[in-house]
Amino acid sequence: MPFLNFWKRGEGSVKADQALEFDEKAVQGMDLLFNTYWILRSKNPEWYQLIREREKVLRRYISEKFGLRLIVHQHFIKLEKIPAEPERWMGITHFQEPMEYAIFCCALSFLEGKSVDEQFLLSELCQDIKESYPGELELDWTLFTHRKSLIRAVQALMEFDLIRTIDGDIGRFDHNEDQEVLYEATVYSRYFMRTYPEDFFGYHHWTELLKEDWKLNQEDERRKRVYRKLFFSPGLHRVDQQDPDFLYIRNFRNRLSEDIENHSEYKLHVFKNSAFLSIAEPRQYHQLYPDSKASSDVLLQFSQYLHNNLDYYVPKENGEIVLTEGEFDGIIDSMRAQFESGWAKYFRDKTTSSIRLDLVQAMKEWMMAETDDSSLIRIKPLLGVVAGAFPEDYEGGKP
């Protein structure tokens, strides 16, 4: 998740040589691997071929720096992107409840028993999911909320190309539990889940899965953790003066920067309390901050407000600024008095507390804020890397 720069993300022998060089094609191939779940040969044959041509050099670099597994299949290519630490924003974006993840996993189990191109009905899928659902409360398809969760799970199956619709519309299931849809299992459905060296039922907690991964990456573990954090997350924050990951970045900053720029289009930025990657010319598939959402515009102004009032909002030793909900609302009211007419209508029509909730949620997704049970809001250093304001000739009411 890199940031934009203003934020701050004979013929035979010639081909053999190219396969060993980390050239522009290898750079592009690695970028595709890191920004897509998998590359399907049927949908993106050019991408698939590009990575196959640079498979050897990509596999070697990714294994050495990240400790990750590159899977090359006749129908797809997939990089198993295992984060150093799981973050709240790393899930399936349109899932809203834990139930949807459970339904999704039950559906994957159902698909395990289907052959390629085998067809099945929505009612069959619903029955199987209901029988295998592990939750304490049973699924009840007469309940609207349960049907909506199923719809989101099935839509995710389609987005990942695990099933295809032959006839019908899953959208109608929200109003009618008897709605039928005909689906077909794809060749990819059996390859979505990772394989584990041990029986999956032998694990008792999700943290054991992460520990299993690091058992295979004990050599140069610190380097692999740092590379994964830089490439998979918006950035890193320094936890304290002895933070080992951040100390690694500081101690090897020049070497890291040179290596990243030689093998990607990203640039490493290191500040006192944060580090992140930026890119000067983003591609369409990149997730970038600031984006086009209305919340990004207000967050840029929020960052500028804090910069202008550091005497009052004093950062802690690790760069965090801690605000109460009341203090946050006061800042919003001050900004509103000056700039509201330039905001999107979505925010102009909201109450101050509603704006706060939206902004905090957006900041959490970019690792710019954390909250806890005390209702305090900890603003992280990444927010302050970029700030924004209206043009100097802006006048209230005349954006």
Cα distances from 317 to residues 238, 322, 374, in angstroms, run 10, 12, 20
The whole-model pTM stands at 0.87
* pLDDT the model gives residue 395: 60
> Which residues make Cβ contacts (< 8 Å) with residue 97, sequence separation at least 6?
149
In angstroms, the CA 297 to CA 293 distance is: 7
* pLDDT the model gives residue 8: 36
**Per-residue pLDDT tens digits for 187-233:** 999 899 877 767 777 777 777 777 777 666 666 889 999 999 999 99
Helix, strand, coil fractions of the chain, as percent rounded to 5: 50, 10, 40
* pLDDT the model gives residue 93: 87
Residue that has been written with the tokens 């394989």 in this structure: 195
In angstroms, the CA 161 to CA 184 distance is: 10
What is the CA angle 65-67-70, rounded to 5? 105
Residue that has been written with the tokens 């049927």 in this structure: 42
DSSP classification of residue 275: E
Q: In what order do the strands lie in the sheet with 119-121?
A: 119-121, 182-185, 163-167
Rounding to the nearest 10 degrees, give the CA dihedral for residues 243, 247, 250, 254: -130
Please answer whether residues 319 and 380 qualify as being in contact, where contact means their C-beta atoms are separated by less than 8 angstroms.
yes
In angstroms, the CA 38 to CA 164 distance is: 17
Please answer whether residues 316 and 49 qualify as being in contact, where contact means their C-beta atoms are separated by less than 8 angstroms.
no
* pLDDT the model gives residue 374: 82
Alpha helix (H) ranges present in 135-234? Answer: 144-159, 206-215, 221-232
Residue that has been written with the tokens 């100390």 in this structure: 247
* pLDDT the model gives residue 109: 94
Q: How many residues comprise the chain?
A: 399
* pLDDT the model gives residue 217: 63
Each residue's pLDDT tens digit in the chain (399 positions)?
A: 555 444 433 444 444 444 568 999 999 999 999 999 999 999 999 999 999 999 999 999 999 999 999 999 999 999 999 998 888 888 898 999 999 999 999 999 999 999 999 999 999 999 999 999 997 889 999 999 999 999 999 999 999 999 999 999 998 898 888 999 999 999 999 899 877 767 777 777 777 777 777 666 666 889 999 999 999 999 999 988 899 999 999 999 999 999 999 999 999 999 999 999 999 999 999 999 998 899 999 999 999 999 999 999 999 999 999 999 999 999 999 999 999 989 999 999 999 999 999 999 999 999 999 998 888 999 999 999 988 887 777 665 444
DSSP classification of residue 395: B
